[in-house]
Amino acid sequence: MNPPLENYLKDASLFRGKAERACFPSTEKEISQLLKEANQKKIPITVSGAGTGLTGARVPQGGTVLSMERLNRILKIEWDDSAGSGFAVVQPGVILKDLQEALEPRGLFYPPNPGETAAFIGGTVATNASGSRSFKYGPTRRYVRRLRMILPNGEPLELSRGQTKAEGGTLSIRLSNGVRIQIPIPTYSMPPVKNTAGYFTAPDMDLIDLFIGSEGTLGVFTEIELAVLKKPEAVVGGLLFFDSEKECARFTWEARRIGRAESAGTRLDPRLLEFFDSRSLKLLLKKHPRIPKEAGAALFFEQETQAGQEDSVHQPWGHFAPIPKEFRHDLPVLVNEQVALNGFRKIGTDFAVPDAKAEAMLDFYLEILGKSGIDTCLFGHLGDNNLHANLLPKTQEEFDRSKGIYDLLARKAVELGGTVSAEHGIGKVRIPYLEMMIGRRGLEEMARVKRALDPNGILSPGNIVPVELLHAAHGSINSP
């Protein structure tokens, strides 16, 4: 029996939607037929992954939900010792945790590790997900070698990295039915930070990169080939406590600088640098009473090393507390418990800024959150200058004010040359902030991309591109 439709009308953002039905295809042919029919009848189709998204991206606004859960097989895992490289081929409904567990006994691993491992691989590619290890390993985009998909018009497309590059401001696709689609590349520039806000663009970009991070709007992924790596022999990790947030941040940035300076001859090479402010530590104290009560901030680090070398790698870090494995994952759980008690939705940020502006952004967070009078906590990927400020309002007045504070913080991140979404995407709830970053013109350029591939605007409408721009009076430039 199929799960109830109700399950697909929300995601982890608590944004709510509506739909007439859900379908559960298990073949590309079924997806293709569904999309062809949807074009004829002008029915919106919203692609659904596991629903762990934080932006309402898989939440339908009517029409049909296209659940990917039956396309859930790991098709191949290979490692070539002589080349020192390997890959996994998966269907999009494979759960991230299942892929990680399948790789583990073969001594392999897949680096992207968003905080929620119940996500589907298809969802992580569609949002270009990142995680704490992205400090060393980068986002999902870096690992996607090949994509099979069904385009919004129902036609199949297979793309390998390196196969099709942009020329003269245009990406060109020739389909098996002879139709040629020309896609004008947006001219906005991508901020030099971890970023998943809006369609990817670069003058000589690879076509595959347009689809990665496109949040279900440009195609339905049906098969994904991912690069995998050899698992490190050993990982050391620990928690360092500091008197203040600034002290912790300065230490972290210095560690990052030394780690990146090849000439320093150092063995510092952290794979993650995660920050917790004093209020985060207060929340964590409920589960971890060994946290020093006077601690003003903490840094959680991990570094890969060779088996037997763990002790010598500890030394550059000085004194640290052994870390309970679940420490980092407990914080979102504790935040959610607090939200349930408060009875108001939390407001959470996902901004990132360039290295040179990290201190200015941190100062702004500390000042604005500190004087808000609202319960807050600030934590996350300090190595990537991608902190999550969480505002936990207890009254309607605090909730309204929290939204104003989110706005203020977003404006600051953009002013400092950063992004309004480093890892969660834009979905339906963050479009105004994307406009803040790339302007109305940027949104219009994205709408031209969308219209080139989906002239009827049937695939996951309402994500990334404002709906009113999908049907604007610019003609399609597709030609037979």
Ligand X SMILES: Cc1cc2nc3c(=O)[nH]c(=O)nc-3n(C[C@H](O)[C@H](O)[C@H](O)COP(=O)(O)OP(=O)(O)OC[C@H]3O[C@@H](n4cnc5c(N)ncnc54)[C@H](O)[C@@H]3O)c2cc1C
Indicate the SS3 state at residue 331. Answer: helix
Is 116 near ligand X (CB under 6 A)? yes
Among 23, 61, 72, 115, binds ligand X (CB under 6 A): 115
Among 89, 126, 185, 437, binds ligand X (CB under 6 A): 126
**For the CA atoms of 161, 167, 169, 170, what is the dihedral angle to 10 degrees?**
-70
Instruction: Sort strands 386-391 and 376-381 into parallel, antiparallel or unpaired.
Output: antiparallel
Of 156, 149, 154, the closest CA to residue 454 belongs to 154
CA distance 70 to 359: 46
The span of 30-38, 114-122, 180-188, 250-258 binding ligand X (CB under 6 A) equals 114-122
β-pair partners for 89: 76, 225
Distance of CA 437 to the CA centre of its chain: 17
Q: How far is the CB of 98 from ligand X (least distance, A)?
A: 12
In the 3-class helix/strand/coil scheme, how is 9-60 assigned residue by residue? CECCCCCECECCEEECCCCHHHHHHHHHHHHHHCCCEEEECCCCCCCCCCCC
End-to-end CA gap in the chain: 42
Among 155, 209, 215, 445, binds ligand X (CB under 6 A): 215
Among 17, 44, 51, 154, binds ligand X (CB under 6 A): 51
Binding mask 318-357 for ligand X (x = CB under 6 A): --------------x-------------------------
Q: How far is the CB of 337 from ligand X (least distance, A)?
A: 13
Is 129 near ligand X (CB under 6 A)? yes
CA distances (Å), origin 291, targets 236, 243, 275 = 19, 13, 14
Residue 325 is classified by DSSP as T
Is 199 near ligand X (CB under 6 A)? no
Residue 169 is classified by DSSP as T
The span of 20-28, 53-61, 243-251, 363-371 binding ligand X (CB under 6 A) equals 53-61
Among 9, 34, 35, 47, binds ligand X (CB under 6 A): 47
The span of 47-55, 240-248, 251-259, 278-286 binding ligand X (CB under 6 A) equals 47-55
Of 348, 342, 387, the closest CA to residue 54 belongs to 348
The span of 125-133, 167-175, 177-185, 450-458 binding ligand X (CB under 6 A) equals 125-133
Write out the binding residues for ligand X, residues 440-469 only, by CB under 6 A.
460, 463
Of 454, 480, 403, 1, the closest CA to residue 220 belongs to 454
Binding mask 255-284 for ligand X (x = CB under 6 A): ------------------------------
Is 53 near ligand X (CB under 6 A)? yes
Note the residues at the interface with ligand X (CB under 6 A).
Answer: 11-12, 47-54, 57-58, 68, 92, 114-116, 119-120, 122-124, 126-127, 129-131, 215-216, 220-221, 332, 423-424, 460, 463
